[in-house]
Amino acid sequence: MKRCNSLPCLKEAGKRSKNEVELIKEELHIPSSMIDFGKNKKYYIRTYGCQANERDSETIAGILAELKYERTDNHNDADIIILNTCAIRQNAEDKVFGEIGSLKALKKNNPNLIIAVCGCMVQQEKSVEIILKTYPQIDVIFGTHNIQRLPSLIEQCLRNKAKIIEVFSKEGEVIENLPIQRESNLKAWVNIMYGCDKFCTYCIVPYTRGKERSRLMEDILEEVKELKEKGYKEVTLLGQNVNAYGKNLDKGYDFADLLEEVAKIGIERVRFTTSHPWNFTDRMIDIIAKYDNLMPFIHLPLQSGDDNMLRKMNRRYNSEEYRRLHDKIRSTIPGVAVSTDIIVGFPNETEEEFQHTLDMVDYCKYDSAFTFIFSPREGTPAARMIDETPMNVKMERFNRLLEKVATYSRMRNEAYIGKTVKVLVEGVSKKNDDILSGYSESQKLVNFKGNKDNIGKIVDVKITDITSWTLLGEEVNG
């Protein structure tokens, strides 16, 4: 089969220039043959990875809706299948390869089916090579910087009867006004910036997502106002490192200013993710404490509690600075919950170094923690470091950490028993039709007996019991 290529290059993607970020505000280009192309056809999107990908999938859905495609949740019914992938760890990639493999039969039954793979994984030359070599069923491969080109790429694929690969490895621009079909009518993701310039040594994101670039504050505020008018109850401001918001714009405003302006719009709930412990300013903490609609929940990725590890990871803070920041957050923001990310088994981590991570978990007593075993990502500095720690040792440490994390999560949850919390009711519980579920202000999943008419509203729930990961209760006056 023919191929039209623009292949990824991680090395190029890791470069950073001082060039200004281009702001693009034009309409989506749709080739004339594509205008009604999706009529009576269906699309299926499967999303892997983080909220940035979830949000990108909403744009892809918006673009496909412009082509008049309808959505289906069953890939057997689809005329086009999009896999929006993640490359953060090897197991994320393995899941995608598994799914691609299983699509082969579908393509055989329906040769007109178009299968496309996009997202972070295809920003890596190695993964694209594997797809090309092993999975002929894939028709289109497009990168994180090429989403708005989807109508043209489908058109090229059909016209040339060729496999299309378009993955740019550039620093990226900011594109406004792309169409969007949101997943929820209650909670919305709002991008505030793209990319990452932190280059933590283990992490592939700065290569797959380009350089840090912020949206203009006026565009973000406009979006939040519109969401409020449409009845949305919650927005989550998204960036790989939201503390860096505004830095490339030279407008004199920063993330604390943005938070304050978003809070003033008066939408019920405002969240954000992810805030790096480096550059987390006192002003940010004070503003979160000041506004009731800025939710008391902070995700503060630790990665390691050991100074030597933190240095090798290029995290830009030491354990003492982290501890101080954690204390300030807990003491200033009433009712705050703190969660974290931790990596076990960074190259040559010793038992003593790992112990420092456990010490930090004992100190911070996190409300919750996402824990990962280090996964070497080709092209990153950590993947080139010598690592002599055997996997069974890493696994054993990982399990010790998991146990500790669960203990503190349960302990934090126990403190809620007998208290009343505000819950945004999202729907009936997945497991039991009589039980409603939603999240508290401090981002605890709450399952409770209540009135179904209150789905979509914020209600008071009295907490009567807990598990390690959830709160259980009854709606007050429900």
Residue ranges that bind ligand SAH, judged by CB under 6 A: 50, 88-89, 202-203, 205, 240-241, 274, 276, 301, 303, 341, 343, 372, 374-375, 377
Q: Looking up tokens 């280009």, which residue turns up?
A: 29
Least distance from ligand F3S to the Cβ atom of residue 345, Å = 19
C-alpha–C-alpha distance, residues 195 and 16, integer Å: 11
Least distance from ligand SAH to the Cβ atom of residue 210, Å = 14
> Interface with ligand SF4 by CB under 6 A: which range of 73-81, 155-163, 199-207, 324-332?
199-207
C-alpha–C-alpha distance, residues 349 and 466, integer Å: 35
Binding at 206: pick from ligand F3S, ligand SF4, ligand SAH, none (beta carbon under 5-8 Å per type): ligand SF4
Least distance from ligand SAH to the Cβ atom of residue 280, Å = 11
Which residue is at the shortest CB distance from ligand SAH?
Answer: 341
Tell me whether strands 213-214 and 193-194 are parallel, antiparallel or unpaired.
antiparallel
Tell me whether residue 92 or residue 423 sits nearer to ligand SAH (CB atom): 92
**Which residues is 140 bridged to in the sheet?**
116, 164
Residue 278 interacts with ligand SF4 (CB under 6 A)? no
Q: Exactly one of 103, 150, 192, 203 binds ligand SF4 (CB under 6 A); which one?
A: 203
Least distance from ligand SAH to the Cβ atom of residue 371, Å = 8
Least distance from ligand SF4 to the Cβ atom of residue 346, Å = 12
Of the candidates 357, 353, 299, the residue with the CA atom closest to the CA atom of residue 326: 299
Question: Structure tokens of 411?
Answer: 């302990």
**What's the burial of 20, exposed, middle or buried (CB within 10 Å: 0-12/13-18/19+)?**
exposed
C-alpha–C-alpha distance, residues 317 and 362, integer Å: 19
Binding at 199: pick from ligand SF4, ligand SAH, ligand F3S, none (beta carbon under 5-8 Å per type): ligand SF4
CB 72 within 8 A of CB 38: no
Q: Exactly one of 196, 256, 338, 369 binds ligand SF4 (CB under 6 A); which one?
A: 196
Of the candidates 402, 373, 419, the residue with the CA atom closest to the CA atom of residue 468: 402
Which residue is at the shortest CB distance from ligand F3S?
Answer: 49
C-alpha–C-alpha distance, residues 254 and 244, integer Å: 8
Binding at 208: pick from ligand SAH, ligand SF4, ligand F3S, none (beta carbon under 5-8 Å per type): ligand F3S
Least distance from ligand F3S to the Cβ atom of residue 341, Å = 11
Binding at 89: pick from ligand F3S, ligand SF4, ligand SAH, none (beta carbon under 5-8 Å per type): ligand SAH
DSSP state of 381: G
Chain residues that interact with ligand F3S, rule: CB under 6 A: 49-50, 52-53, 86-88, 119-120, 204-205, 208-209
C-alpha–C-alpha distance, residues 442 and 336, integer Å: 6
C-alpha–C-alpha distance, residues 463 and 133, integer Å: 54
Binding at 404: pick from ligand SAH, ligand F3S, ligand SF4, none (beta carbon under 5-8 Å per type): none
Give the contact letters, 239-258, x = binds to ligand SF4 (CB under 6 A), - = no: -xx-----------------
Of the candidates 7, 16, 211, 17, the residue with the CA atom closest to the CA atom of residue 123: 7
Q: Exactly one of 143, 206, 473, 478 binds ligand SF4 (CB under 6 A); which one?
A: 206
C-alpha–C-alpha distance, residues 218 and 278, integer Å: 26
Give the number of other CB atoms < 10 A from CB of residue 299: 20
Q: In what order do the strands lie in the sheet with 297-299?
A: 297-299, 337-344, 368-373
Residues forming the site for ligand SF4 (CB under 6 A): 196, 198-200, 203, 205-206, 240-241, 276
